[in-house]
Amino acid sequence: MDMIEAMKVAVAVARHNSFSSASRDLRLSAASVSRIVADLEADLGVRLFNRTTRQINLTDAGMEFVQKSTCLLEELDLMRSAVRERHDTPRGQLHVSCVTAFGNECLAPAVPEFLRRFPQLDVSIDLGNRLVDLIGEHFDVAIRVGPLNDSSLIAQRIFTQRIVFVATPQFCEQYGTPKTLDEIRACPSVTQVSGNWGRVHRFSHGGKVIDFEVPQHLTMNSARAVRNACLTGGGYSLLGDFMVAQDIAENRLVRLLPDYEPIEQPIFAFYAQRRHTPRKIRVFIDYLAEVFSGKNTT
């Protein structure tokens, strides 16, 4: 006996409360439906349906069998779809929301290669630091700093940033090289503040975690703008390590207070929980993990 076919027949009979209607739905003869149900009952050793000349009703055992069969058949359909899709070429539109600094410096240069691998996908990226409603605003993926308290989302860590103190060599010549947080507070600054983000940064020093409240001497909501202002020598800045690694390597900027170790800030890719995640989302998340897993700077 084909158990999957028998489960489908039992579910169809229960749904229609009729052998003849179930046979039409399944494109089987009424005799075949009756035989399959009889064979199933004999195999299980219980009666699934109470039959009269006028109606068919599920027994308690039949109710349990149909409920569990329905769940199993749905899982089989999902598994079949997932396996089929895994071998299909992802296509369509992928909508991504991403925090501005990471989007400018890291995501934007990485996406062209992703499109070369998956040429039947189109990608649109919205850069901004506001929280978005993935479902309501029709985004497939959102890339954000830190965990979000939303149980409806799946989070995958793709990167880790550290916020470091930097300034130009000319700044250090003019103001000296600060050795402590108190000394650096006395210096002019240009810093990024975007909403609640950036007002306080955490560092580890001497075995203690220290909260550094960012001075409001000159603030901007764009990390790239802060970096450009910092490069003029007018103030020190707090910037993500991935933004200033090249500047430090080429001596355009120097790192200040290296003994104050930044607390790492994870960057996550978020997407909505689904019974079956679309392949275009899966391949994009996998690509981000591949590209950025080895690119964290120190």
pLDDT of residue 129: 87
Domain shared by 153 and 287, yes or no? yes
Note whether 37 and 61 are same-domain residues: yes
**Does 41 lie in the same domain as 15?**
yes
pTM flag (> 0.75): no
171 in a domain, yes or no?
Answer: yes
Q: What are phi and psi of 215, to 5 degrees?
A: -65, 150
> Considering its fold, how many domains does the chain have in total?
3
Give domain status of residue 298, yes or no: no
Q: 103 and 70 share a domain? A: no
Give which of 259, 237, 261 is closest to 248, Cα–Cα.
237
The 10 Å CB-count burial string (b at 16+, else e) for 212-251 is: bebbeeebbeebeebbebbbebbbbbbbbbbbbbebeeee
Claim to verify: residue 146 and residue 281 sit in the same structural domain: yes
Residues 72, 100: one domain?
no
Q: Whole-angstrom Cα distance, residue 128 to residue 194?
A: 10
HEC per residue, the chain: CCHHHHHHHHHHHHHHCCHHHHHHHHCCCHHHHHHHHHHHHHHHCCCCEEECCCCEEECHHHHHHHHHHHHHHHHHHHHHHHHHHHCCCCCEEEEEEECHHHHHHHHHHHHHHHHHHCCCEEEEEEECCCCCCCCCCCCCEEEEECCCCCCCEEEEEEEEECEEEEECHHHHHHHCCCCCHHHHHCCCECEECECCECCEEEEEECCEEEEEECCCCCEECCHHHHHHHHCCCCCEEEEEHHHHHHHHHCCCCEEECCCCEECCEEEEEEEECCCCCCHHHHHHHHHHHHHHCCCCCC
pLDDT by residue for the chain (298 residues), tens only, comes to: 899 999 999 999 998 888 889 999 899 998 999 999 999 999 999 999 988 877 888 999 999 999 999 999 988 887 777 776 666 778 899 999 999 999 999 999 999 999 999 999 999 999 998 888 888 888 999 999 887 777 788 999 999 999 999 999 999 999 999 999 999 999 999 999 987 788 999 999 999 999 999 988 899 999 999 999 999 998 999 999 999 999 999 999 999 999 999 999 999 999 998 777 888 999 999 999 999 986 654 3
Same domain? For 140 and 282 the reply is yes
Q: How far apart are the C-alpha atoms of 240 and 244, rounded to whole Å?
A: 7
Q: Does 44 share its domain with 56?
A: yes
Is the domain of 72 the same as that of 8? yes
Which structural domain, as residue segments, surrounds residue 96?
92-161+265-292
Antiparallel, parallel or unpaired: β 163-167 and 254-256: antiparallel
> Is 98 inside any structural domain?
yes
Domain boundary among 86, 113, 145: 86
